[in-house]
Chain A
Amino acid sequence: MDFPILSVITFLPGVVGLALLAFPEDKKELIRWTSLIAAIVCMVLSIIVYFSYDIELGGYQFEDRFDWIPAVGISYIVAVDGLSLPMVLLTGIVMVTGVLISWGIEDRPREFFALLFFLAMGVWGVFVAQDMFTLFFFYEVAVFPMYLMIAMWGWKKTREYAAMKLTLFLVVGSLFALIGALAMYSASGLGTFDMFIIQEQAEFTREFQITWFPFVFIGFIVLAGMFPFHNWSPVGHVAAPTAVSMFHAGVLMKLGAYAALRVGVVLLPEGAKFWLPYVVVLAFVNVVYGSLIAMTRKDLKYMIGYSSVSHMGLVVLGIATMNEIGLTGAGLQMFSHGAMTALFFSCIGMVYDRAHTRMIPELGGVMKKLPMVGVAFIIGGLVSMGMPLFSGFVAELPIFMGAWRAGVQGPDFIANYYAWIAIISALAIVITAAYIIRAVSAVFFGPIPEKIEHELTPIRWQDRTAIVILLVSLLALGFYPAWMDTVIKTGVDSVMAVLGA
């Protein structure tokens, strides 16, 4: 048997998390270094998986399975395809940078890092799971560390409210998705949760698919922050400690979009064809509304939080186009947005840790004191606006093209307006540019307010390393998208095969 690399990536964080809990509480440096080394190991493993995936072959690879609870057809199955692979890699990147950024946590670091690893286990588990039960199992494993981390280390003013709101939204979504998945299990009559088998053999009637698709799709897409189920997301970003914001925006929101695609669209294609045109409208609202709200925010974290809502709207829009180019764009956008938002939140975290404020009017001239943070934020901004040569462009252009081309589906009152949806969504980029440029000029240039002048101490090597890792992955995708584009295409092909186009 081959080395079960995906299982190792998934369970190593869990083992490390448990091991960390056994450390003595006051050995803080030891805890940090152990976490960092473990995170690096996971990242290296995810890079290895990424680059040893056989693009020619496509499909699902590195499969690893055993019968978990055979009496009810539950198996543990992990495998990756072109769509989940970039997400596995992204999780590795965010994990390492998250550990680096959290170096300064002094209150109960043992618990913090242990929970971070449990969270990582859940996230990796969802991206590689190919059995509905396994997927739900990991999906909910990812929930409780989020609650505790936000409630324990978050921003004192809103953390309890935000943590609870986030948790309840996620859990109610996942429970409805679970009922949908159980209905599929029951109606398929195959007695298995194995998604490969269900995808190939289940013959769901059209009525069944149309009834249950909303349960599954909306249940999961809540986590992607889709309008009108989005408002837990910015609140959660704001309250969360930096590393958790990075995880939340960077990876967790992708979890929702990915699971909605994998379980919803792929297993219930007829339902998807019926409902997704309506989803296009919601995603469109997401894109425009998210960026408009971001425009009005004075708190940097709120601004990026709403910008995430807007960008995730593009991901959902890409999925909802149901054509090859749109889906490819969605896949690229998931990676690009993940790395970009992680970068944004780490920069904001660094500024906030020093200046103790995130309000745009109270900041200024940060560039002079923290040049690296400034440069990173500006590059993040350029990605966010979709400038050519940056990964945002690579990802967003296909989504707009996909949306334009998709205008054959759905009822007339939507189908006739796809071109307009594409145009207006593209115009939302102008709004993005406006708030990013405004924030950059106000925060990083101009005079330094007296209050924060002496607070802005230089950043640590850990922070620099984190910034470099995120910048490298963003720029690599921007300058040479082919290394990811081709991988995602193989995943999109299998989705398109199911959708029958």
Chain B
Amino acid sequence: MDFTTFEAAHFLAILPEIVLIAVAALVMFMDVVQKGESRRMMGYVTAIGLMAAMFIGIGFSLPMGDPKLLFGGTIRHDMLGFVFRMMFLVAGAITALITMDVKGLGKRGDFYAVLIAAVIGMNFMAIASDLIMLYLAIETTSISAYALTGFLLNSDRSAESGLKYFLFGAVTSTVMLFGFSLLYGFTGHTNLYGIAEALGAGNVPFVTLIGIAVMILVGIGFKISAFPFHFWTPDVYEGAPTPITAFVSTASKTAGFIVLIRVFIIALSTNSGVAGWLPLMMAIAAVTTTIGNLVALAQTNIKRLLAYSSIAHAGYTLMAFVAFESQPEQSVSAATFYLMTYIATNLLAFAIIIVFARAAGSDEIKDYAGMSRRSPYLAHMMLVAFLSLAGIPPLAGFLGKFFIFKVVVDAGLYWLAIVGAINALVALYYYLIVMKVVYVDPAPEGASKISITRPYQIAMVALTISVIVLGTAATPWYNWAIAGASSLF
């Protein structure tokens, strides 16, 4: 396969992304012509555009038959990538909706356009099977994310977090790129499958291989905020505009995981390689979960709390991942399903935070006191989100955790399951403390009802329903995750 044999099928495979470019252009155009209040319509256009891309994807780009390498082997058109792309599109659409009434963002066409660019980057991260393509996709996503994080130029916090995110990101990305270049140097391939073949021949020394794995892990660890590359997370999450926090903590993290799955399982899982980095990864999974949960206990700001909780959730997903050696398909499908539940749940939590911050002007947990009296339904939805994060049925998070525990136990990693169980307990504690503030503590004097505008109503109701559906009628979604996982092997 080479670049001269383009076929229509190649373009059908990336049709959603082509649609997205058109949507981004449309939004930029609207940015110029729309005036006044109607400018916020760009949010709807973005959300509808992303959903349209999703349906077009389901209609025309659904991978049929065996996975294919397209565009000279730079992308792999398979079910796993497809499932992740759909997740990114949904996350992007929701992010657009929950941005619409945020001051300083909701009426900015360029904001939505950059958001779409980030989604395009993530979609390519999901399907890239070549180091060059992969790195391009990662950088497209990252640069968009840096810009989005620092978008509120007149807010010091936003600018600071944008810069911090950029500095951390640039350094880790460079280390990863160095790892990539070594990989190319030793194997002579940039394609992941080519690399796997070359490594399988056993010509690369064990120590070098581990070194390369660690370097790549630095870059990915930053993306998924795994210990010890998690230090940027709370600061950036706190300072960034909340819709972007929502986006970075869900879609961007998920994109990190698909890269992790592709690079490590396809390219680096030769026998000797696995023996080297898998124990390291197990330790990282256990420590990441524990650190995230323990530090979350001490938080007083809800965005920081969710930042640490998102670190813990990354740890859980890693737990599923590290079981892949003995349970390859179950492990990847558990991780995929967990990410689905996590995206729905965390976006819901952040949507509520945005609505509340608009009414109360604060992200401090103590200001949530009496929220259940000010707006019972908002409180109930927050309960749904937080209990799902804590892993209580009948909500999505329970099934997500259940599948992870299952695959970890199936792989015989009982110690890891016990670490996970103790962590679930710690996490339940701090989620419940927040719910206690919301339901039990008295509301401040003169606190008014909280109004929820239309885009937020749409987003939150849709997410609440998804969280419940993912936790009960999970079969179709889990089957998707399994289909994705089996297309990888």
Asked if A175 and B421 make an inter-chain contact with CB atoms under 8 angstroms apart, the answer reads: yes
Asked if A178 and B403 make an inter-chain contact with CB atoms under 8 angstroms apart, the answer reads: no
**Stretch in A97-105, A143-151, A319-327 with 4+ CB within 8 Å of B:** A143-151
Asked whether A370 is an interface residue with its Cβ less than 8 Å from the other chain, the reply is: no
Give Cα distance in the complex from A469 to B421, angstroms: 41
Q: Residue A143 contacts which of B392, B402, B440, B479 (CB distance < 8 angstroms)?
A: B392
Asked whether A497 is an interface residue with its Cβ less than 8 Å from the other chain, the reply is: no
Residue from B372, B406, B435, B482 with most neighbouring chain A CB atoms (10 Å): B406
Chain A residues with CB under 8 Å of B398's CB are: 137, 140
Q: Residue A168 contacts which of B403, B418, B429, B440 (CB distance < 8 angstroms)?
A: B429
Asked if B429 and A164 make an inter-chain contact with CB atoms under 8 angstroms apart, the answer reads: yes
Chain A residues with CB under 8 Å of B479's CB are: 71
Chain B residues with CB under 8 Å of A148's CB are: 383, 435, 439
Asked whether A179 is an interface residue with its Cβ less than 8 Å from the other chain, the reply is: yes
Asked whether B283 is an interface residue with its Cβ less than 8 Å from the other chain, the reply is: no
Chain B residues with CB under 8 Å of A172's CB are: 421-422, 425
Chain A residues with CB under 8 Å of B410's CB are: 182, 185-186
Asked whether B432 is an interface residue with its Cβ less than 8 Å from the other chain, the reply is: yes
Asked if B418 and A179 make an inter-chain contact with CB atoms under 8 angstroms apart, the answer reads: yes
Give Cα distance in the complex from A138 to B394, angstroms: 8
Asked if B424 and A175 make an inter-chain contact with CB atoms under 8 angstroms apart, the answer reads: yes
Interface residue tally for chain B (C-beta within 8 Å): 38
Asked whether A51 is an interface residue with its Cβ less than 8 Å from the other chain, the reply is: no
Chain A residues with CB under 8 Å of B380's CB are: 21
A183 to B, closest residue via Cβ: B409
Q: Residue B409 contacts which of A25, A164, A186 (CB distance < 8 angstroms)?
A: A186
Interface residue tally for chain A (C-beta within 8 Å): 37
Asked if B475 and A69 make an inter-chain contact with CB atoms under 8 angstroms apart, the answer reads: yes
Asked if A152 and B439 make an inter-chain contact with CB atoms under 8 angstroms apart, the answer reads: yes
Residue from A152, A164, A175 with most neighbouring chain B CB atoms (10 Å): A175
Asked whether B478 is an interface residue with its Cβ less than 8 Å from the other chain, the reply is: yes
Asked whether B387 is an interface residue with its Cβ less than 8 Å from the other chain, the reply is: yes
Report B418 CB to chain A, min CB distance, Å.
Answer: 7
Give Cα distance in the complex from A185 to B410, angstroms: 8
Asked whether B474 is an interface residue with its Cβ less than 8 Å from the other chain, the reply is: yes
Give Cα distance in the complex from A160 to B405, angstroms: 30
Give Cα distance in the complex from A182 to B392, angstroms: 17
Report B64 CB to chain A, min CB distance, Å.
Answer: 21
Chain B residues with CB under 8 Å of A147's CB are: 432, 435
Chain A residues with CB under 8 Å of B266's CB are: none
Q: Residue B421 contacts which of A140, A144, A160, A178 (CB distance < 8 angstroms)?
A: A178
Segment 424-480 of B: residues with Cβ below 8 Å from A? 424-425, 428-429, 432-433, 435-436, 439-440, 474-475, 478-479
Asked whether A480 is an interface residue with its Cβ less than 8 Å from the other chain, the reply is: no
- Given contact pairs A71-B475, A167-B432, A179 touches B414 in the complex (Cβ within 8 A): yes
Q: Residue A151 contacts which of B405, B421, B439 (CB distance < 8 angstroms)?
A: B439
Give Cα distance in the complex from A5 to B131, angstroms: 58
B418 to A, closest residue via Cβ: A179
Asked whether B188 is an interface residue with its Cβ less than 8 Å from the other chain, the reply is: no
Query: Contact string, B396-420, partner A, CB cutoff 8 A, digits 1/0?
Result: 0010001101100110101001100
The contact sample of 7 A-B pairs, CB cut-off 8 A, is: A25-B376, A71-B478, A72-B403, A151-B436, A164-B429, A171-B424, A183-B414
* Residues of B participating in the A interface, judged by any CB pair closer than 8 Å: 330, 372-373, 376, 380, 383, 387, 392-394, 398, 402-403, 405-406, 409-410, 412, 414, 417-418, 421-422, 424-425, 428-429, 432-433, 435-436, 439-440, 474-475, 478-479, 482
Known: A69-B475, A148-B435; 10 extra A-B contacts, CB below 8 A, are A71-B479, A72-B330, A141-B393, A151-B440, A164-B433, A172-B422, A175-B425, A178-B405, A179-B405, A182-B409
In the A-B complex, the 10 residue pairs with the smallest Cβ-Cβ separation, listed nearest first, are A175-B421, A182-B409, A186-B410, A137-B393, A172-B425, A179-B417, A151-B440, A140-B393, A69-B475, A141-B393
